[in-house]
């Protein structure tokens, strides 16, 4: 048998389909097969397991009769008897035969279907995310002619999917939600997600959620210790606030979006967060910093470890000026353990770490390299665009007004909320 790299791929004639026709995916192939008679399958399988043909909805081991079984092997790994392990017991070269099988649409993976259907000069679909029962895609313009097929394939091949939606515009409003169209399935945007041993429920059409940030949420929740104090400036529906409050941190969580605020409170109750562990606010980020953070922070200095989370990468750095000169000298004790700011931003360019630093320095007003704890690349958003996390110490030099200190004026709330946000 000659190796054919296209043998297990969908047939070439499905290229360019815009409407799914499953019958066109049928393909007759000739596969290597171990035909065993009067031999127990259990005595053979351990020796050939790594060679089994693994396709969706395909059984590589089939009982033909009481005394006969067929074991289908991967043609990319086995083309001749010598490709098998030399110590395969109870079998000889005569047991390896070629068998004809018909592959169908159900045997091909989601990825292989998309690679086969979309013309070679067109990129594959943008990666999808799953939010509960909802599969979310962000189709670029050149993929829109294929959106119906893409929606149907995702609906059928992503486990437990009931709705496929496509984002039809960038996130261009204050509340970070976006317009979407249902490509396939139910128009049901109320969904539930499990993360960090918590359950989050929300209306996906009215709030922001990104399942790709699950690992980052977990990193921060792990980093903060029980009993620490957390100001979550852009809390959303609570991916940081809820698990942190649940581990007995003292959390002050804020979000401007009334829907996010509603679902944040819902999720606190849903996860049985103890009373007094989390206070929630529905304010602009600047107002939250200039009031709640300003009023509450002095009481925790030198008594608690304090973190200020700013997870709004398209805009968060623009709020850093609010911390500069937030207090008069007499309002803070002379010596204190500096709170830690955890701020996210987008870095567009080749040197993402330096770009992130430059953004930080610009918004604070001077080079604060000596205050940076670390920089971390959270994830790649697109070519030359990274989501970055910066941790730095919010020390006295930043917090206290000083006539000879190089300060940046805190921005107006309207200047911040009117800007466009981008999906991350």
Rounded CA-CA distance 199/193 in Å is 6
Query: Do the beta carbons of residue 188 and residue 169 sit within 8 Å?
Result: no
Torsion of CA 135, 141, 145, 148, to 10 degrees: 10
Rounded CA-CA distance 207/219 in Å is 22
Centre a 10 Å sphere on the Cβ of residue 269 and count the other Cβ atoms it contains. Answer: 8
Rounded CA-CA distance 153/143 in Å is 14
217 is in an annotated binding site: yes
Nearest to 11 by CA among 36, 31, 28, 35: 28
**Beta strands 163-167; 134-137: pairing state:** parallel
Rounded CA-CA distance 173/165 in Å is 19
256 is in an annotated binding site: yes
255 is in an annotated binding site: yes
285 is in an annotated binding site: yes
Rounded CA-CA distance 179/206 in Å is 9
Rounded CA-CA distance 180/13 in Å is 32
**Beta strands 340-348; 385-393: pairing state:** antiparallel
Rounded CA-CA distance 105/23 in Å is 7
6 is in an annotated binding site: no
Rounded CA-CA distance 312/4 in Å is 49
404 is in an annotated binding site: no
Burial class of residue 364 (count of CB atoms within 10 Å of its CB; 0-12, 13-18, 19+)? buried
**Six-digit token string for 212:** 């790709």
Query: Do the beta carbons of residue 39 and residue 88 sit within 8 Å?
Result: no
Binding site, annotated residues:
217, 255-256, 284-285, 311
* Residues annotated within a binding site for S-adenosyl-L-methionine: 217, 255-256, 284-285, 311
């Amino acid at each position: 048998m000659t190796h054919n790299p296209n043998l297990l791929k969908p047939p070439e004639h499905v290229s360019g389909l815009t409407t799914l026709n499953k019958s066109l995916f049928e393909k007759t192939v000739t596969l290597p097969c171990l035909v065993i008679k009067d031999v127990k399958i259990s005595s053979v399988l351990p020796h050939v397991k790594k060679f089994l043909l693994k396709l969706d909805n395909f059984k590589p081991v089939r009982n033909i009769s009481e005394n006969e079984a067929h074991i289908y092997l991967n043609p990319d790994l086995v083309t001749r008897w010598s490709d098998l392990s030399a110590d395969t017991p109870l079998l000889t070269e005569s047991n390896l035969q070629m068998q004809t099988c018909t592959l169908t649409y159900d045997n091909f993976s989601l990825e292989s279907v998309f690679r086969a259907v979309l013309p070679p000069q067109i990129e594959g679909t943008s990666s999808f995310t799953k939010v509960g029962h909802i599969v979310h895609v962000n189709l670029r313009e050149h993929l829109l002619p294929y959106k119906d097929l893409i929606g149907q394939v995702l609906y059928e091949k992503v486990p437990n999917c009931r709705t496929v939606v496509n984002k039809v515009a960038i996130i261009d409003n204050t509340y970070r939600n976006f317009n979407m169209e249902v490509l396939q399935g139910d128009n049901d945007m109320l969904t539930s997600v499990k993360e960090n041993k918590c359950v989050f429920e929300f209306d996906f059409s009215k709030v922001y959620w990104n399942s790709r940030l699950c690992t980052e949420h977990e990193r921060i929740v792990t980093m903060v210790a029980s009993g620490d104090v957390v100001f979550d400036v852009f809390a959303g529906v609570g991916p940081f606030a809820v698990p942190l409050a649940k581990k007995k941190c003292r959390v002050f969580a804020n979000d401007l979006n009334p829907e996010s605020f509603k679902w944040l409170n819902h999720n606190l109750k849903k996860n049985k967060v103890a009373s007094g562990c989390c206070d929630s606010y529905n304010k602009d980020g600047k107002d939250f910093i200039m009031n709640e953070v300003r009023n509450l922070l002095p009481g925790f200095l030198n008594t608690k470890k304090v973190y200020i989370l700013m997870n709004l990468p398209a805009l968060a750095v623009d709020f850093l000026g609010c911390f500069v000169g937030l207090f008069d000298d007499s309002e803070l004790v002379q010596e204190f353990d500096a709170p830690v700011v955890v701020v996210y931003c987008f870095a567009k360019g080749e040197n993402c770490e330096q770009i992130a630093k430059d953004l930080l320095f610009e918004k604070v007003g001077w080079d604060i390299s000596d205050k940076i704890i670390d920089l971390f690349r959270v994830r790649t958003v697109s070519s030359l665009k990274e989501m970055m996390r910066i941790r730095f110490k919010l020390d006295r030099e930043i917090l206290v007004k000083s006539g000879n200190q190089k300060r940046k004026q805190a921005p107006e709330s309207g200047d911040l909320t009117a800007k466009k946000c981008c999906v991350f």
